[in-house]
Amino acid sequence: MSARRRVLRTTAVAAPSRRRIRRAAIAGLATAGALATLTTTAAQAADGGPATAAAQTAPLDRATASTQATPGDPTTAVAQATPGDPATAGLPFPSSTTRDEVMEVKGKAGGVLGKEWGPDFAGDPVSFEVNAQGNDPLHPTGTFHVVHSNPDGSLVAEFSGKVSSLYAVDEVGIVTGTIDRADHPGVPLEFIGKQIALTVYDGGSKGDRIGWVWGFFGAPVSRVQGTAPHFPVAWGNFRVHGAAAAQAGPGQGGGPGHRGLGRQPALSRQSSPSAAGDSAPSSERVDLTSDATGTNVLAVLGGTSKTPDFSGDPLRFTVAARIAPGDNALQVKGGFHVTHHKPDGRVVADFQGRITCLAVGGPVGVATGVVTQSVDPTLVGKPVSFSLKDGRTDRLGWLWGFTPTDEPITDCQSITPFYAPDWGGLLVR
């Protein structure tokens, strides 16, 4: 192997040259002071392949404000924030997580990096082994092990460690951990003590996928957060056993029109019940041309809150974003709108904004953005994140960066999708 070392950027490790290290990026994730450029092609979108690939880096640009949101009148502010609702602040997982049901992410799988990783990485074998379990997302047990080799079998990097957080719902699980053993010949980086995140998708007969974030490249890693599972494995098997009932609404099938997703010239979605909680949806129409190229996510859905403090409150989410072919994750175009009412129509939260980063892997997408309008003006400029799973049970996840005590929000990272809507649905492709 020539002196030009290989590194699984957003995946496995680093290269020996300092120039390469500066450019090393974790597919779709921020490195030290930079964000990996993620490219997307029409072919990848068509065959369900990863919508992201490591390339050159782009400056990280996020508009955020440091002021703390102050609760006020519930008609104009986010009031009594509780984890798991659009008014949420604090812990990054729903308060109703099933404590007597064990969540698991287990298995060993891998593959060979494709041409989308560029000439420095194409053909490199990589493998991932995870053995994580627990019924408390912040106190799981288990280990992880990652190996990245050159095509001739020589080692690029091998590292392992203990799991520190785990959140799995249905077939998607996110695991974070800390490296305690590492062998990385010729790579002048510190691995020991660094955080990592793995997003695992258990696709069954359709194929498993995995995504990753490496803290040793300077990428931020937050508990129970990860990026999209951008890498389809070619061998092995992952098993995800999640809290299937977490935040599930009665309409677990996705609501009106759900089974017609992606098979019509346009997607027609009915909007939410009214703020007063009417059962019949309105006739509002949201269209996305199904033959559009590039990477697209669309969610128009809602239902009622399952969190005790807000039980029965109507929720509504709209997320729409697209990356054109050849554009990167930061060149995404799109927006979001979130509303939370009391059953009598009083506003708990109503805010909207623009999507600033989008990563997609198979049927799972992750989008981050910034609030641009809100009934509570203190939320303007604050970051948000969404996760979307387009499956037998559509699910949406979210995190709000509204106060200094909220979990950090990093571009193209979010929590496991957990909320099953009562109506509507979503599309990821």
Average per-residue pLDDT in the chain? Answer: 73
For residues 137-154, average pLDDT: 95
Please give the sequence-ordered ranges of beta strands (E in DSSP) within 224-382, or none if there are none: 231-232, 235-241, 295-304, 314-323, 333-341, 347-361, 364-374
| Lowest-confidence pick of 27-36, 105-114, 311-320 | 27-36
What pLDDT digit, counting tens, does each position of 382-419 carry? 999 999 999 989 999 999 999 988 889 999 999 999 99
pLDDT at 268 over 90: no
pLDDT at 19 over 70: no
pTM for the whole thing?
A: 0.73
> Mapping DSSP to helix (H, G, I), strand (E, B) and coil, where does residue 353 land?
strand
Closest-CA residue to 26 (of 156, 215, 165): 215
| Phi (first) and psi of residue 18, to 5 degrees | -65, -30
User: Structural domain boundaries of the chain?
Assistant: 18-59+101-241, 258-428
